[in-house]
Amino acid sequence: MWTWIVTAAPDSGAAALNEIQKGSVPSRFCSWLAPGVAQFTSADRATTQRALRERPPIFVRHVSAVDLQVPCTGPSWDWDAVLAAVSGLDNLDKSLRTSVQVRPLEPIPSGMRQELTRRVSSHLTDRGVPIVVAGPQQVVSIVLAQGTAGLGVLSLDDALSAWPGGECRFKRTEGQVSRAEFKLLEALDLYPILICDGATALDLGAAPGGWTRVLRERGLHVTAVDPAVLDARVAGDPHVRHVQQSAQSFLRSTRERFAVVVNDMKMDARASCALMVQAEDCLEPGGFGVMTLKLPEKHPELTVRDSLDRLRVTYDLVGARQLFHNRSEVTVVLRKREAHDGGERA
């Protein structure tokens, strides 16, 4: 049997487990290790990984494999045992850029997380493994829970995130307009969108301008549509055009085309999907859309499934995930089908 640890937002733990159990993964739930962190077992490692790739989870934001376990209790750990276990990870590819993720799910001595990360990283470096902080190709995860250190190796694609537990952290920067900026930054980090510098973007429901500011930092010229006022730091940008009308009115009247359309409007998920379907006419062939689906408290999975079905009629789905910076919402990344430009929708 293989042991796995999956992480989701605390309020989405049940939805995440439901995805695992209905996603062609023959598995057995074991226990909750912490709010939103579940442990389960499966009969076959390769089958589980293949199932998760073929049906990427939406509410699961991070996966750890537990290949080996080492007892770790008290203020003084047996470092030799931990490092020997790291050496015993026989599926570690020494040619790949590797990050070490340490996740304590219970209180540990001060500084122990940093010390464990340092020692394991140094141990692997001595054995020729290229250790990196950003841009890894594989992840060595060490989850500290119930008096043990669970060690495992996964490719970045299978782990779902380069951040421990999927906890994608960004520093506040000078000029930041709103916390919502982190949502778009995380989406662009997870789903790289290739956009030429100087391309055009449309931000629907832009005020106060957080997403517009992120797009400008990526070199795009932005049309920000919202009846409300933009933050002065955004409004004063010469490459931001503020159209003070509703998104629906703008889409009905415009003939412009954009490389990117984004939508973080606080509205019913199905209505927001209808808006994005309408916005497809504004996208250049192969253009991208990024949106958030605001979810109800009950049965959010049904809302997501129905919303994605509506969007797939018009778009190719690049990805959908409840990101760390999402709250009761899911971020969706879309791409316009080239064949639809100027033609009939399927």
The full 3-state SS of the chain, as one line of letters, equals CEEEEEECCHHHHHHHHHHHHHCCCCEEEEEEEECCEEEEEECCHHHHHHHHHHCCCCCCCEEEEECEEEECCCCCCCHHHHHHHHHCCCCCCCCCCEEEEEEECCCCCCCHHHHHHHHHHHHHHHCCCCECCCCCCEEEEEEEECCEEEEEEEEHHHHCCCCHHHCCCCCCCCCCCCCCHHHHHHHHHHCCCCCCCCCEEEEECCCCCHHHHHHHHCCCEEEEECCCCCCHHHHCCCCEEEECCCHHHHHHHCCCCEEEEEECCCCEHHHHHHHHHHHHHHEEEEEEEEEEEECCCCCHHHHHHHHHHHHHCCEEEEEEECCCCCCCEEEEEEEECHHHCCCCCC
What type of residue sits at position 254?
T
Using CA atoms, how far apart are residues 321 and 292, in angstroms rounded to an integer? 10
State the catalytic residues: 294
Q: How far, in Å, CA of 29 to CA of 14, rounded? A: 11
